[in-house]
Amino acid sequence: MSEAVISLDRLSKSYGDVRAVEDLTLEVRAGAIFGFLGANGAGKTTTMRMLCGLVRPTSGRATISGHDVWQERQIVRTKFGYMAQRFSLYPDLTVDENMRFFAGASRVPGGEVEGRIARLLTLTDIEAKRHAPAGSLSGGMKQLLALACALIHEPPLLFLDEPTSGLDPVHRQQMWNLLYDLSNSGITIFVTTHYMDEAERCTDVGFIESGRLLASAPPRALKASFTTKLLEIDVEPVMPALVQLRENPELLGVSLRSGSLRLYAANPEALVAKWRESWPYPGIEWRGERWVEPDMEDVFTAYSQGYNAMLKTAQP
C-alpha cells in the first residue's frame, strides 16, 4: 500500500449555523485517482478549497505530504496544481501567455519555461491554438488549457474541481485519457465530480452527502458492499408502474434504467416469488425480470438514501 499523500482527520467547515463539511476523515494514497463524488452543494468544493489552503477549517486537520494545509499553506501550495470548476484564466491573453504567466507565478526557472510549455501543449493537444486568445477557445480546449497551467510547475499532486462539467463526451474522454497518463507518470489526482459514471474511472472513491462522508473505498469494494441482489423488471406501461411501485412498502426505492425498472429491496428473492404467485398491479403488464450487478449510481443511491438493509460496510 502506498503512503498517504492527503490525510484528513475530522476536517470540518461551518458558515454560521451551516455545516458545509463535517468530520471528514480519509486518506488518499500516492498515485491514486481519488474521485470525490456527490451532488451539487454536498461539500466537495469546500473540502477541496480547505485542502488547497484557500479556506480555513473550522475544526479538524488535514495534511498534504505531512504538512498542515492551513498552518503550512505556503509550503503546501508548491506541492499541488489546482484547476478550478469554472474557467479562471485570462481570456484576453493567448494560450502561450497564460502558460508563461502561471510559470512565472509558480517560479519555474526561466531556462525551463519554453520546454515545459512545448511539452504541455503537446500533451493537451492544444499546440495549434498556442497564439489564440484563451477566451476564443471552445469549452473543452479551455479546460485543457487550465490543466496545462495547473501542471506547469510539475506538481506531484493535482486538484481538479469538476474538470469535465459541461464538456461533450469526446472532450470528457480526452480529459480522462490525460488523467490516466498523468496518474501513470506518478501524479496523485484528487478530482471532484457529480457524474456517477466517472467513479468507475477512479482507483478510489469517496461519497459525500450534506458535508458528511458516506463511504470511501475502491469502486469494486463499494459495489461488493451490497448484501442483496438488484432486481430489474420489464413492465408496460413503465411510468405508471414506477409511480405505483414506489408506494410498495416492501421496496426501498425504484429507479428507471434504459426503459426498465430497477428495484431496491431488502429481500428481492422473496418479493419475486410472491409476485409470481399473485401480481398485485392489474393495470400493469409484467413482461420479465433479471438480476443485475450494481453500478456506482446504485452505490450512491443506496448510501445516500440510507438503504442499510442492502449494505454492509465497505472497507478500502
Q: What pLDDT, in 10s, does the model give residues 90-122?
A: 999 999 999 999 999 999 999 999 999 999 999
- What are all long-range contacts of 164-173, with beta carbons under 8 Å and residues at least 24 apart? 164/193, 164/195, 164/198, 165/85, 165/193, 165/194, 166/139, 167/139, 167/140, 167/143, 168/139, 168/140, 170/140, 171/139, 171/140, 171/143, 171/144
The C-alpha atoms of residue 96 and residue 94 are separated, in whole angstroms, by 5
Which residue, among 98, 187, 112, has the nearest Cα to 149 in the 3D structure? Answer: 98
Q: What pLDDT, in 10s, does the model give residues 9-45?
A: 999 999 999 999 999 999 999 999 999 998 888 999 8
**pLDDT for res 314:** 46
- What mean pLDDT do residues 296-302 have? 92
Q: What percent of the chain has pLDDT over 90?
A: 80
**Confidence band of 88 (pLDDT split at 50, 70, 90):** confident
pLDDT at 298 over 90: yes
What type of residue is 140?
G
**Confidence band of 195 (pLDDT split at 50, 70, 90):** confident
Q: What pLDDT, in 10s, does the model give residues 123-153?
A: 998 999 999 999 999 888 898 999 999 999 9
**pLDDT for res 313:** 60
**pLDDT for res 101:** 94
pLDDT at 156 over 80: yes
**pLDDT for res 140:** 86
**pLDDT for res 2:** 62
pLDDT at 53 over 60: yes
Burial label for 19, CB within 10 Å (0-12, 13-18, 19+), is middle
- What mean pLDDT do residues 69-74 have? 95
Structure pTM? 0.88
User: What domains are there in the chain, each with its CATH number?
Assistant: 4-216 (3.40.50.300), 230-310 (no CATH)
